[in-house]
Structure 1
Amino acid sequence: MIDTREFGHSPGASRSYTLRPPAPAGFGIDMVRVPTGEPIDLDLLLEAVVEGVLVSGTVRAKASGECARCLDPISEEVDVELRELFAYQDSTTDTSTDEDEVSRMSGDLIDLEPVVRDTVLPSMSTAPLCSPDCPGLCSGCGAKWAELGPEHRHETIDPRWAALRERFGGTEEEK
């Protein structure tokens, strides 16, 4: 929460903030997230405007998770731009915008967590990779393709032919 009383609803007033709050629990998506308690770096400029306070700046954090193909641990830097208007209570935005269209201030306080979350989460990869050419896992045995030789295979037999194979002892290659 940021207290904006010093602006006094005076358009043109501004102040820079450098904040380092800890990440709340569940700050991410299934495959990658900012660990709980990991610092989130906020470099912000708050500017009083006629309808409220305009917050702009950058959000930086370190996210970690696992590769979507091979499940190895990964980490990625999140660096996004933030720009949001927080409207004063009882301002003309109450009648000119929908309730969820503009963020609202609670008295003189601005709650940044929902806006930071809504800005950061879409920038995170939904299927993060340890490398762009990650071959993933073998669907037959679950081993990493990067660690398996080129001769690695799993013979799959159509279940309709399995009885014949059992009766006649396999293929010519197996004899």
Structure 2
Amino acid sequence: MSTTSRKRRQGRPAADSLVLDTRSITRSPGAMTQVQRAAVLPSDIGVELIRIPQGAEVDLDLALTFVEEGVLVTGTVAGRATVECARCLGEFTSEVSVDLTEMYAVEGTAAADGAEQDEVRLLDGDLLDLEPALVDAFGLEFPMSPTCTDYGLSDCVNPDTPAPDGVSGSTEGRIDPRWAGLAEKFADPGIDEGAG
């Protein structure tokens, strides 16, 4: 797992940033603050066929708790993903969310010293960057081959796509849209049958 960059940021983060300022948390174990707001993604988050695009908003509903060696982030992050169905190649959007439980260690603590081995992220001074945690969380949550039915649709958004078992009612005269580009290149083998 990657840890937060050690390059220091300048000034306070923007109000819609995924970088959170922890200075509002009292520095005593158990002190907590809530973060409930929208943030704008600085880059795409997801995998090849499903992603939340750059510039999209995600809703943060998080608790930041000060613990002995840093800040524990718990809660959910939700957004709207663009999905390309692996079966019909149709595109649609869907609400998606992940649960987060991430520890951000203060530099110089034992947790920070073992960050790479213990999968702990690092605070950047008083700031923590949620983006790497979201990349990991959504990357694990999203399927590599999403389908329309994975996201609550009863059928594929492209109605010409055969059902998964190859049976979709009357198929006479229809060409599967996934192979339509090959129709002009390869003629129907029955056309020349018996010619000679």
Matches within 5 A, 1:16-95: 16-95=34-113
> Whole-Å Cα distance in 2 between the matches of residues 89 and 38 of structure 1?
32
Return the index of the structure with the highest Cα Rg: 1
Distance 1:135 1:8, change over 3 A: closer
- 1:120 and 2:138 equivalent? yes
* Structure holding more helix per residue: 1
Give the structure 2 partner of residue 170 of structure 1. Answer: 193
> Whole-Å Cα distance in 1 between the matches of residues 157 and 127 of structure 2?
47
Q: Is this contact kept in 1: 2:112–2:120, CA < 8 A?
A: no
How many equivalent pairs are there? Answer: 155
What runs of 5+ residues in structure 2 fail to find an aligned partner? 1-18, 176-191
- 2:120 pairs with one of 55, 79, 102: 102
State the 1:148 CA deviation.
8.2
RMSD: 3.2
Give the structure 1 partner of residue 170 of structure 2. Answer: 149
Q: Is this contact kept in 2: 1:57–1:82, CA < 8 A?
A: yes
State the 1:97 CA deviation.
4.7
Distance 1:152 1:11, change over 3 A: same
Q: TM-score, normalised by structure 2?
A: 0.67
> Whole-Å Cα distance in 1 between the matches of residues 36 and 174 of structure 2?
55
Query: 31-40 vs 126-135, which deviates more?
Result: 126-135
Give me the identity figure in percent.
Answer: 36
Q: Secondary structure at 2:101's aligned position in 1?
A: strand
Q: TM-score, normalised by structure 1?
A: 0.74
